[in-house]
Amino acid sequence: MKISIIGAGYVGLVTGACFSELGNTVICVDNDLKKIRKLKKNIIPIYEPGLEELIRKNVKKKRLYFSSSIKEAVDKTEVIFIAVGTPSLGNGEPDLTGIENVASQIAKNLKNYRLIVEKSTVPVETGEWVKRTIKINNKYNVDFDVASNPEFLREGSAIYDFMHPDRIVIGVESERAKNILLKLYQPIKAPILITDIKSAELIKHASNSFLATKISFINAIAQICEKTGADIVKVAEGIGLDRRIGKDFLKAGAGYGGACLPKDLDAFISIAEKAGYNFELLKVVKKINEEQKKSIIKKISDSLWILKGKTIGILGLTFKPNTDDIRNSISLEIITELKKEGVYIKTYDPKAGFKVKKIFKDIKLCFEPYAVAKNSDCLLIMTEWEEFKNLNFSKIKKIMKQPLIIDGRNMFEPEKLKSLGFRYIGVGR
């Protein structure tokens, strides 16, 4: 099939690359001209494992193209996915101007039947607005369909997730739209759930809110573990072995961050509010997450007494491993707080160091973990990058100013580090 993806970001590029890998001809469109120029020169603007190879392969096979023209996408392709960003406006509501903008540009160029698919995470009823926007802006009164096909991939394993999803959700209101999407997804082996458009839209916000709830739940249990001497890792294992609960997303830590969970939770609270429902549960989920971040700062100040003038080394800046995405990363929030206290900060991250250095000009950017540890009063672990797993802690102990490790992701075994002479503080253990 001939398809286009509008918005060549973390979701759009992966979706485009994967659909082309499945044998379709794909045009990825973005209004960021620099990004398109880079992509045309084979420079991939984001880090996602396997993406560079997949894009290069499919460009070479002439199945994957890049463009800054929505007109080209509408003229040449039968299915148009909208995968632009829907960031938070700051008041909890998502900014949907990108969606409206793309819908009206599609409408202005629409001359034959096209299926327009929402891939971005959008509030329930956005499909109605997209339809209305296209009708108002289309001069030719062309027949078209709108569908919702929310994306559940995770950054860091996005290609695998796209190709092996737990489920594919397709929200449609015509047989024609349903059959096009079923044909497109036919090579992917996964349960397909066909719904109306509003239900599909709601599934995405409800799923992310549930995941955030699981994280805040286990973080709340971690607080009780800290106060009672129980071990959250064992407790989570014991809870997660119950198949009705499941072990995923029961890892206590510094809280959830990233481009999706915080904004989608906020959006869902505001969607519910507009619909006349006060979603108190989610408000508490958010509050627990805020407290969890603060508890990391408290662990640092409780362990170091006076923060002013101390050196803290931070390992990991991204919100999770295997990505260069720093949107809503808790590491960055912690850096902001520590800077206010007059702390000197050294950091290392395998993929995001330069991005963070652009934001915080006065932190020291290191190029390997031991340089971070050297002369630090505290080593703070914020992202579970694989390369941190095999650190030589005997060496780290020798080069730190004081042997203090605060493990915001419970990456390491407390007993092992304590036996090496560290003061080790994890989360909930």
Return residues touching ligand NAD (CB under 6 A). Answer: 6-12, 29-32, 35, 83-86, 98, 101-102, 120-121, 151, 153, 155, 259-260
What does the alpha-carbon distance between residue 186 and residue 180 come to, in Å, rounded to a whole number?
A: 10
Q: Which is nearer to ligand NAD, 102 or 272 (by Cβ)?
A: 102
Instruction: Compute how many other C-beta atoms are within 10 angstroms of the C-beta atom of residue 410.
Output: 22
Query: Bridge-partner residues for 81, per DSSP?
Result: 5, 117
Edge-to-edge strand order for the sheet containing 311-315? 364-365, 344-348, 311-315, 378-381, 404-407, 423-425
Place of tokens 């640092």: 300
Listing DSSP states for 42-55 in one string gives T--SS--TTHHHHH
Nearest to 79, CA basis, from 25, 33, 42: 25
Q: Which is nearer to ligand NAD, 120 or 295 (by Cβ)?
A: 120
Q: Is residue 260 annotated as a catalytic residue, yes or no?
A: yes
The structure tokens listed for 116 are 């327009």
- Smallest distance, ligand NAD to C-beta of residue 95, A: 10
- Smallest distance, ligand NAD to C-beta of residue 29, A: 6
- Smallest distance, ligand NAD to C-beta of residue 64, A: 16
What does the alpha-carbon distance between residue 254 and residue 237 come to, in Å, rounded to a whole number?
A: 18
Q: Which is nearer to ligand NAD, 85 or 255 (by Cβ)?
A: 85
Query: Bridge-partner residues for 347, per DSSP?
Result: 314, 365
- Smallest distance, ligand NAD to C-beta of residue 204, A: 7
Q: Which is nearer to ligand NAD, 4 or 311 (by Cβ)?
A: 4
The structure tokens listed for 410 are 């419970």
> Under a CB-based contact definition with an 8 Å cutoff, are residues 238 and 244 in contact?
no
What does the alpha-carbon distance between residue 96 and residue 210 come to, in Å, rounded to a whole number?
A: 23
> Under a CB-based contact definition with an 8 Å cutoff, are residues 191 and 168 in contact?
yes
Q: Which is nearer to ligand NAD, 58 or 105 (by Cβ)?
A: 105
Q: Find the helix packing angle between 197-228 and 280-304, rounded to 10°.
A: 40
> Which residues touch 147 (CB under 8 Å, ≥6 apart)?
115, 116, 117, 118, 127, 170, 171, 172, 173, 177, 181, 197, 200
Nearest to 253, CA basis, from 195, 320, 185: 320
Query: Bridge-partner residues for 169, per DSSP?
Result: 193
Q: Which is nearer to ligand NAD, 151 or 226 (by Cβ)?
A: 151
Q: Which is nearer to ligand NAD, 58 or 121 (by Cβ)?
A: 121
Catalytic residue among 18, 28, 225, 260: 260
With residue 266 as reference, give the H or E element that holds it: helix 261-275
Q: Which is nearer to ligand NAD, 319 or 393 (by Cβ)?
A: 319
- Smallest distance, ligand NAD to C-beta of residue 260, A: 5
- Smallest distance, ligand NAD to C-beta of residue 155, A: 4
- Smallest distance, ligand NAD to C-beta of residue 124, A: 14
With residue 185 as reference, give the H or E element that holds it: helix 175-185
- Smallest distance, ligand NAD to C-beta of residue 85, A: 4
- Smallest distance, ligand NAD to C-beta of residue 35, A: 6
With residue 226 as reference, give the H or E element that holds it: helix 197-228
Closest residue to ligand NAD using C-beta atoms: 9
> Which residues touch 143 (CB under 8 Å, ≥6 apart)?
113
Q: Which is nearer to ligand NAD, 29 or 405 (by Cβ)?
A: 29
Catalytic residue positions, numbered: 260
